[in-house]
Amino acid sequence: MANASSKLQKSEKTKSQIIQSYLALIERKKWDKITVKDICSKTGVTRGTFYQYYSSIYDLMENIEDGLLDELNRSYKTIHTPSTVVTPNTFMDKFNHHPPKSFENWFVFCEKNKSKVRILLSNNGDPYFLVKLRSILKTQVNILMNNDNMPSDALREPFVKALVELHLLSAKSWLDSNDQVDLSKDEIINILNTMRVGASYLSNLEEQRGFASL
């Protein structure tokens, strides 16, 4: 049993070293221009060892990305926020102005996986990873808007897109800062929440005006 455990630990260590070497190379070279030879040279393993774990560079990248995306999806599934019916007259009293848990989860995820996310969101990273991230974030923003009782009107799609991009841009700027950023995680979350609260307030204000004009 001890021998089997030792082999497993060694295997996991080798896989981790391959991943870390690959990510380090992406900082200097486009992800799909990196060769198995490059990784083996940096890691100090043979090509045979590499192919014990991954069938190709694409398989390696997919393994890294899928692990991150699965973790992010799992973190969102832990959120249970019931929607609250808010009318224009009760908006100030009933609307939950506090930052939603989904905002916190996004930055906790980015902070926990800082080196991986920072590199994958760089110009040398896989563009399709960004596409998949946008899809996950879009789903969460729509869930948030549904819980906030926001209408599914012509303005929803551009608002969702804007809030998703703000998620990505703020996280990228924060991760690229090397801990020298002026804004804290909570302050960035509050910026996102200001956009969310403002949209809900204006929506309720427009609804109130609509009733008044009847």
CATH architecture entry for 1-54: Orthogonal Bundle (1.10)
The reported pLDDT for the residue numbered 213 is 44
Mention every residue, 6+ apart, whose C-beta is less than 8 A from residue 64: 19, 22, 23, 116, 120
Alpha-carbon distance of 32 to 58, in angstroms, equals 8
Average pLDDT over residues 102-128: 95
Answer CATH for 57-212 from 1.20.5, 1.10.3470, 2.60.40, 1.10.357 = 1.10.357
pLDDT, mean over the chain: 88
Average pLDDT over residues 35-52: 96
pLDDT classification of 178: cutoffs 50, 70, 90: low
DSSP code string of 25-56 = HHTTS-GGG--HHHHHHHHT--HHHHHHH-SS
Dihedral pair phi/psi, residue 176, rounded to 5°:
-75, -10
Instruction: Name the residue ranges covered by the structural domains of the chain.
Output: 1-54, 57-212
Task: Say if residue 203's pLDDT is above 90.
Answer: no
The reported pLDDT for the residue numbered 214 is 37
Task: Say if residue 7's pLDDT is above 80.
Answer: no
The reported pLDDT for the residue numbered 202 is 78
Can you read off the two tokens belonging to residue 14? Answer: 């080798």
The reported pLDDT for the residue numbered 211 is 44
Place of tokens 């002026």: 182
Average pLDDT over residues 62-76: 97
Mention every residue, 6+ apart, whose C-beta is less than 8 A from residue 148: 83, 86, 95, 196, 200
